[in-house]
Amino acid sequence: MKAVVWHGKQDVRVERVKDPEILNPRDAIVRVTATAICGSDMHLYNGYMPTMKPGDILGHEFMGIVEEVGPEVRNLSKGDRVVVPFTIACGNCEPCTREQWSLCDNSNPNAGMAERLYGYSCSGLFGYTHLFGGYAGGQSEYVRVPFADIGPLVVPDEIDDERALYLTDIFPTGYMAAENCDIKQGDVIAVWGCGPVGQFAIRSALLIGAADVIAIDRIPERLEMAAAAGARVVNFDDVNVLEALNEMTGGRGPDACIDCVGMEAHGVAPDAVLDKAKQAMRLEMDRAHVLRLAIQAIGKGGTLSVPGVYGGFIDKMPVGAMFEKGIQMRGGQTHMHRYLRPLMEKVRRGDIDPSFIITHRGTLDDAPQYYDFMANHKADMVKSFLRPNAMMQGEVSRYERSREEMTAASR
């Protein structure tokens, strides 16, 4: 099969690799019909997440058709059209039974490695380093999906791939980020980063009932997209963000701030420049400029929600501001399994059409170019929608071959 393979910093290639197989009783093999490149894939592309190995298959946003199931998967059948959550969960451990699915105890085979860095490990993730399991990703034609009796959700026929695909990460991630703000009537929410997760966080905050959302970025197309959703916008190249937020909230500061940027924050402030130099020299893992700004900006007793990915250690955190203002901070990988079903229902009802986010449609062969577009903010890219080449070029995989053989045998 074809897959998008990581080879090093800013080096991804489309290559032929061996097809996946069922290895455990709760596995399924999914034939990918649509996939996408996530903003968090940029941290892999730019070489900031440790434990990637040349040959790793990328991608954690994908959906497709079930081709094969293991003997313990009784709720899915061959031919089912499913979305697959990017976090992998067993469904039986304590975090899973508490609906903290992204903290599953059993799905990360390399949990020991993560424990040495973080104390405890989060769940396994598709296509996202060996620290999180070394699972092959979905920017490929086929994927082995572990614990398939728990994760994948069948998509109703009336929801097409373009509206379903983003249920696999960015819509639930944006939604959980907004939900973590514990939004009350009259609340003003500031969202840093108007990339895909930021766009869904903005829309989710408004869906949940925020009185006002202020979106912060510097890329005009992304700010326009945020404004179209009903947010007021701030271009951080033009104004002092802290002063702007103070003024836009009548001097109270936002009730909650959402950091959708994560470990690769841009900025010209001294701390941002210092972060960049330290990160380049591997003296610091994350560039936390947005996190610091958000802590400063947030009003008294406010909430800081962090869906943006951070990988390790950061310097110069304004912990004093956090403590003195009584701020609570919430974050983590998305508890995908908690959100898939209710958000799919919102899509089915037409409360939101996630396909608004798509700016580029292509095939797996376009992935290397799209990674470059996304990492370097070229071609006005916000979000890709990729079809596997096999679907477009009529290639034959081992699954198609076996199906043809079965059909021939039954004649």
Partner 1 sequence: MRKPIVQAMTVLVPRDRVMAFVQDRQLMAQAVGSKKMLGTIQHLELCDAPDGRGTEMYLSMRGLGKYSIKEVLRRLKALLEAGEIPTGRRYA
Contact set with partner 1 (CB under 8 A): 17-21, 23-26, 57, 72, 88, 90-94, 97, 105-112, 115, 124, 130, 133-136, 144, 146-147
Nearest distance, CB of residue 402 and partner 1, angstroms: 15
Nearest distance, CB of residue 172 and partner 1, angstroms: 22
Nearest distance, CB of residue 20 and partner 1, angstroms: 4
Q: Which is nearer to partner 1, 3 or 263 (CB)?
A: 3
> How far apart (Å, rounded) are the C-alpha atoms in residues 330 and 264?
19
Nearest distance, CB of residue 120 and partner 1, angstroms: 11
131 phi-psi bin (left φ>0, alpha ψ -120 to 50, beta other) = alpha
Q: Which is nearer to partner 1, 130 or 278 (CB)?
A: 130
Q: Which is nearer to partner 1, 46 or 51 (CB)?
A: 51
Q: Which is nearer to partner 1, 3 or 381 (CB)?
A: 3
Nearest distance, CB of residue 186 and partner 1, angstroms: 38
Residue identified by tokens 């798509």 is 358
Integer CA distances (angstroms), 398 to 56, 57, 86, 258, 406, in order: 21, 19, 25, 45, 12
> How far apart (Å, rounded) are the C-alpha atoms in residues 44 and 8?
9
Nearest distance, CB of residue 99 and partner 1, angstroms: 14
Q: Which is nearer to partner 1, 40 or 123 (CB)?
A: 123
Nearest distance, CB of residue 24 and partner 1, angstroms: 4
Nearest distance, CB of residue 407 and partner 1, angstroms: 25
Q: Which is nearer to partner 1, 137 or 193 (CB)?
A: 137
CA end-to-end span of the chain? 28
Q: Which is nearer to partner 1, 59 or 146 (CB)?
A: 146
Q: Which is nearer to partner 1, 27 or 212 (CB)?
A: 27
Q: Which is nearer to partner 1, 108 or 334 (CB)?
A: 108
Q: Which is nearer to partner 1, 17 or 274 (CB)?
A: 17
Nearest distance, CB of residue 57 and partner 1, angstroms: 8
Edge to edge, what strands does the sheet with 256-259 contain? Answer: 232-235, 212-217, 188-192, 256-259, 303-306, 328-331
Nearest distance, CB of residue 404 and partner 1, angstroms: 22
What is the chain's alpha carbon radius of gyration, rounded to the nearest angstrom? 21
